[in-house]
Amino acid sequence: MHISFQETAIIHLHPDDNLVIALIPLSPGRALSIGTLVVKTTSAINAGHKVAIRQIRAGEVVRRYGQIIGFAQKDIHPGDHIHTHNLSVGSMQLDYAVASDTKPVPYVPTTERRSFMGYKRADGSVGTRNTVAVIGTVNCSSHTLKRIVARAKAELLPRYPNVTDIVALAHKHGCATRDGSPELGMLQRTLAGFAHNANVAGYLFVGLGCETNQFESLFNAHRARFGSMNLPPYLAVQDEGGVTSTIEAGLHALQPILAHANTFVRTNQSVEHINLALQCGGSDGFSGISANPALGYAVDMLVAQGGTAVLSETPEIYGAEHMLTRRASNHAVADKLISRIHWWEEYTRTHGFEIDNNPSHGNKAGGLTTIYEKSLGAVAKGGSMPLTAVYEYAELITERGFVFMDTPGYDPVSATGQVAGGSNMIVFTTGRGSCFGFKPVPSIKISTNTTTYERMRSDMDINAGTIITGEETIAQVGKRIFEYMIEVASGKHSLSEAQDIGEEEFNPWMLGATM
């Protein structure tokens, strides 16, 4: 991506773009120089928003990053504000050009790879945290398991200094659905994935007893992941004689689990064991210019070190999926991604809305107009390495490198799928200011602009706004992100983690009817 700074007031991202991005609020009549071209703003323009630099007739394409972000709904004159009042999506044929931009990964020799202090598990995976999870099979056990965890953290956790945390993973599902349905299967896959995430040293399941999501069914569906044990630790409120009895039984059941978890200590491990979930939320017009490409640079560094990065949020790559198919390692990978895009097109039609209902209100206030524009910026998080695999929601991630998981764009639901698939860290970019945490994995927040970073210093770990001001390059910020990832993987608390944020964000994706 080519970035040129003009007057420190605007950015012209690509020679083919017929617009520039305002770095600061622009008053009406402000003269803007783009090379030899000079235009004057016809109205006030907020920072992060778009200004036309050429005449654009109704129906003509509007370009950002050299790519189509929509079509003019009426004539747009040089200096005009380009936004929802004169720009919208339209039908276009993308050139998928499968594998046309796939390049070899510049792997760092094994002996020269970076390391972090992590928790080695028996299956060879490595955690960045050493957590015990109490997991609900159904909403009806949520209160009970939360009380078990609250008491265990107060009464038991201090005895086990090597255990990072005890986490309550409660949700609103598990019943009022059909036994054996794909919906229930997805929930079971998600719950089993959390039990076996590398950050989880031990777990206890808690159910009501009569729910559709019977624990034996969950166990049998994922027996390969649970191993040779007859039946993992499980309590049913009805079997234990009520809530109070189950809480006491839960405290008793957790003691050997905590004792086992306490035997794990941090040891030196290769960064190839980092499985990084990529997220963005509360995005703005700067996301695709600063934080996302800087994160993409860090992702390329991680992949070169043998690690894994997981891009998700399928509705937020819509209109930019060709940027990924061109990097696919083979046609099967590209075809699976395209099939998920088609599924989302049908899914949104079935429910009577369009994918362009995204961007959100806050995204638009920050300068993003269409889903095409948002997606092109979001894809930048994925760097430039080959796309080696595409996974369904919460599916176990087995390939290393840069991969994709099909999830909704809603951050808690998306991150839940990624962590169920095996991610042991999250890096989350934000322009408006999302205070996202996600137990049992640390979440690092990167601000796209300095204003948000300064306003939310207690929540933003890294400021990528220095790219906008010209103080740093994308590469410099990308390297800072990579180094901070290693620090956090080794035990440094991210800011959301330090504030104990992240238990409420657990939110499995449930499709289909609620009966």
Question: ∠ CA 35-39-45 to the nearest 5 degrees?
Answer: 115
340 lies in the same domain as 442:
yes
Q: Is the peptide bond before 28 cis (omega within 30 degrees of 0)?
A: no
251 lies in the same domain as 282:
no
Amino acid found at 167? V
407 lies in the same domain as 294:
yes
Whole-number pLDDT of residue 1: 43
Q: Two tokens at 507?
A: 């939110």
Whole-number pLDDT of residue 292: 97
Whole-number pLDDT of residue 512: 81
Q: Two tokens at 25?
A: 């609020």
Q: Two tokens at 29?
A: 């009549």
CB 226 within 8 Å of CB 232:
yes
368 lies in the same domain as 233:
no
Q: Is the peptide bond before 15 cis (omega within 30 degrees of 0)?
A: no
CB 35 within 8 Å of CB 5:
no
CATH code where residue 27 lies: 2.30.130.110
User: CA 238 to CA 144: how far, in whole Å?
Assistant: 12
Distances (CA, A) of 186 to 108, 221, 282, 380, 472: 36, 11, 27, 29, 43
**In-domain check, residue 106:** no
Chain centroid to Cα 43, Å, comes to 36
284 lies in the same domain as 385:
yes
**In-domain check, residue 225:** yes
231 lies in the same domain as 309:
no
Whole-number pLDDT of residue 357: 59
Q: Two tokens at 193?
A: 């994935």
290 lies in the same domain as 359:
yes
**In-domain check, residue 267:** no
309 lies in the same domain as 418:
yes
Last residue of a domain, one of 228, 261, 294: 261
pLDDT values of the chain reduced to their tens digit, one per residue, 515 residues? 444 444 479 999 999 999 999 999 999 999 999 999 999 999 999 999 999 999 999 999 999 999 999 999 999 999 999 999 999 988 888 999 999 999 999 999 999 999 999 999 999 999 999 999 999 999 999 999 999 999 999 999 999 999 999 999 999 999 999 999 999 999 999 999 999 999 999 999 999 999 999 999 999 999 988 876 677 899 999 999 999 999 999 999 999 999 999 999 999 999 999 999 999 999 999 999 999 999 999 999 999 999 999 999 999 999 999 999 999 999 999 999 999 999 999 998 888 887 765 678 889 999 999 999 999 999 999 999 999 999 999 999 999 999 999 999 999 999 999 999 999 999 999 999 999 999 999 999 999 999 999 999 999 999 999 999 999 999 999 999 999 999 999 999 999 999 999 999 999 999 887 88
Q: Residue 496 phi/psi, 5° resolution?
A: -70, -40
327 lies in the same domain as 387:
yes
162 lies in the same domain as 278:
no
Q: Which domain holds residue 134?
A: 118-261
**In-domain check, residue 197:** yes
Q: Which of 308, 121, 309 is nearest to 200 (CA)?
A: 121
**In-domain check, residue 455:** yes
The count of domains in the chain is 3
Distances (CA, A) of 27 to 4, 51, 139, 248: 21, 12, 53, 65
